[in-house]
Structure 1
């Protein structure tokens, strides 16, 4: 069994690849910004917030064609995206949530 720190690091790496994928897509980025309420100029700051990376993965997972395109373009197996989500803060019920 992998240690939790390495699992979280790998999960963060998947989420960062997903953020780059979304940010580079002229159709996905505006949709992501509209759904999250984040301004494009604030993405870097928001990325440091707990739960942001989980939100990126939730966005990708919510639309199967987007998920499949992300996986194809990055060589990420689809199950790895869901596993990464669960390893991040706010990705499942095992982490504290801010209110």
Structure 2
């Protein structure tokens, strides 16, 4: 099943970010690797650089990429595709 039909990349990455934030292990790792804090993330979640950080974070660790893609019902490549 490919849920990316008609969904733009930003929306998909926002959904991936929501999944990351909901998982304590992923959230802590994402915040540590990006240097973002919770307040900054809340304020800038839809910014292009934050969304690129989500894509890079997932592309940098295949098990997380595969798990988030499965949770969202998309192909892993959809989360790493460049706009």
TM-score under structure 2 length normalisation: 0.82
In structure 1, the partner of 2:47 is 49
SS of 2:8 mapped into structure 1: helix
The Cα shift of 1:57 comes to 1.1
Q: Over residues 61-99 of structure 1, what are the superposed CA-to-partner deviations in whole Å (9 max), with x where a residue is unaligned? A: 11110011011111011121122xx11xxxxxxxxxxxx
Q: 4+ runs of 1 displaced by more than 2 Å?
A: none
- Which structure has more RCO (C-alpha within 8 Å, separation ≥ 6)? 2
Unaligned runs of 5+ in 1: 1-6, 88-99
Matched, 1:76 2:80: no
> 1:3-82 maps to which residues of 2 (within 5 A)?
10-82=8-80
Pairs aligned (count): 78
